Structure 1
Amino acid sequence: MRYYIADCHFYHKNLLTEMDNRSFDTVEQMNEVMIEKWNKKVHARDEVVILGDLSLGNGKETNEILCRLKGRLYLIRGNHDERYLRDKDFDVSRFKWVRDYAEIHDNKRKIVLMHYPVFCYNGQFRRGADGTPLTYMLHGHIHKTEDQVLVDRFCTETRATMRKSAHQETAQPVPCQMINCFCMYSDYTPLTLEEWVECDQRRRGRTDCG
């Protein structure tokens, strides 16, 4: 199985009282709960793509976290990852790769991966024979903030826009499959693409997939 998650922010104490207001008494408690939820879902041979901001700890602290997390791990670099990545004591070999941007395939769908949301992403207009969008843009970074409200507004307006391409007889709504894989949306648990699609639809109160 392949899972995705963003913005765990292990060791980020300020998020207990600022921005996220995470419901933990201490950062140590937060770390332990996130590790437990991760390992309850992920098995040793599963793949987990981390969409940035894994940890605010130093190299040694982040190594200790990574040694306890199950799965084969891939990192999309976020703005808070540089502290441990540049630490001489950090062992980067726990990651299969570390990239700023990637495009992969997941069950015959193209997945665009970046820490920051990409509004006009590669392959956005690709659809299957039944009209189902075939490309998803997975990101993190914005947490549950006013920026999320703006991204949601963009997605709603984009999906309401009709456009006719050279390969279509009639105009169709523009696909916009941008999903924020923020860990608090999934109760700190890595999810598959299908699970993130369902989670995103519930969060937005959407039942369509256009």
Structure 2
Amino acid sequence: MIYVVSDLHFFHADLLTSQHFAPRPFGTVENMHKTIIENWNARVTPTDTVYHLGDIAMLNRKPSESNPMILEVLNQLNGHLVLIKGNHDSRSLFKYLATNNYALDDGKVKFSFEDVGTYFKLNHYQFYLTHYPMLFGVNQNLINLHGHIHNATVPIKENLNVGIDSPEKDYLQTPIPFGAPFSEAEIFEMIQGKRDDFAKRR
């Protein structure tokens, strides 16, 4: 199974009381981490693949201190993680994760890395996965899955914010637990929900 999510922002205490983004409903980052890990592992199996579209963590410490702390948290998440670099992800972190990479029980590595983005095809759709929103023009079978903008949306139906703070989660009939990555079915439901929303505005 394939899942997609963005902007976990582990260790980012300012997001709990942010005035610029929707504040996350946790008293401490430890509680936030616990909730994300539990909700993630409740749906992702050890053999699933999760595309994370940038901004794994934000921890203002020296890389020699912060990188092992981030790895410790990521090791608690089920699945193979395809990590796309966000504006808060350092090359130092990616190098550290690569150095400490390992194979899971199915023989595939825990971490793989994309500097700018990647894409895959599914059900006759082309999905371009990036951290920043990208404008590819109007093409109903080409969708940009992105993060970066937290609780905002791009007013184009071919762009879908898959960050854990995304307001486009409201297109889902069944609410998704905080921090859980989006399944293939949920991605398609959100795409259709955004299209229906735009059609009502005409």
What are the Cα deviations for residues 22-56 of structure 1, in whole angstroms up to 9, with x where unaligned? 00010111011001100001001111000101112
Larger Rg: 1
Given the alignment of the two structures, is residue 191 of structure 1 paired with residue 182 of structure 2, yes or no? yes
Shift in CA distance, 89/195, structure 1 to aligned 2, threshold 3 Å:
closer
Query: Which position in structure 2 is the counterpart of 1:169?
Result: none
Given the alignment of the two structures, is residue 14 of structure 1 paired with residue 14 of structure 2, yes or no? yes
CA distance in 2, matches of 1:184, 1:204: 20
The answer to whether the Cα contact below 8 Å between 1:52 and 1:77 also exists between their aligned partners in 2 is yes
What are the Cα deviations for residues 100-155 of structure 1, in whole angstroms up to 9, with x where unaligned? 1212223442111110001126xx53xxxxxxx3221100000114xx3xx22xx1
The alpha-carbon deviation at position 204 of structure 1 amounts to: 8.3
Structure 2: tracts of 5 or more residues without a match = 60-65, 102-109, 167-175
The answer to whether the Cα contact below 8 Å between 2:94 and 2:113 also exists between their aligned partners in 1 is no
The alpha-carbon deviation at position 198 of structure 1 amounts to: 2.1
The alpha-carbon deviation at position 80 of structure 1 amounts to: 0.7
The structure 2 residue matched to 1:42, chosen from 20, 44, 57, is 44
Shift in CA distance, 81/181, structure 1 to aligned 2, threshold 3 Å:
same
Which stretch of structure 1 is more off in the superposition, 39-48 or 199-208?
199-208
Matches within 5 A, 1:153-172: 155=156
CA distance in 1, matches of 2:25, 2:67: 26
| 1:59 counterpart letter in structure 2 | N
The alpha-carbon deviation at position 193 of structure 1 amounts to: 3.3
Other structure's SS at 1:80 match: coil
Shift in CA distance, 184/89, structure 1 to aligned 2, threshold 3 Å:
same
The structure 1 residue matched to 2:151, chosen from 144, 157, 167, is 144
The answer to whether the Cα contact below 8 Å between 1:16 and 1:23 also exists between their aligned partners in 2 is yes
Query: Which position in structure 2 is the counterpart of 1:86?
Result: 92
CA distance in 2, matches of 1:194, 1:99: 26
CA distance in 2, matches of 1:89, 1:78: 14
Given the alignment of the two structures, is residue 180 of structure 1 paired with residue 194 of structure 2, yes or no? no
What are the Cα deviations for residues 60-101 of structure 1, in whole angstroms up to 9, with x where unaligned? 11110111100011011100111xx41598322241223312
The answer to whether the Cα contact below 8 Å between 1:62 and 1:90 also exists between their aligned partners in 2 is no
Shift in CA distance, 191/99, structure 1 to aligned 2, threshold 3 Å:
same
Matches within 5 A, 1:42-61: 42-57=44-59, 58-61=66-69
TM-score (structure 1 length as normaliser): 0.73
Structure 1: tracts of 5 or more residues without a match = 126-132, 156-175
Aligned Cα RMSD in Å?
A: 2.4
CA distance in 2, matches of 1:197, 1:64: 32
Which stretch of structure 1 is more off in the superposition, 185-194 or 37-46?
185-194
Given the alignment of the two structures, is residue 67 of structure 1 paired with residue 82 of structure 2, yes or no? no
Percent identity over paired residues: 32
CA distance in 2, matches of 1:3, 1:87: 22
The answer to whether the Cα contact below 8 Å between 2:45 and 2:78 also exists between their aligned partners in 1 is yes
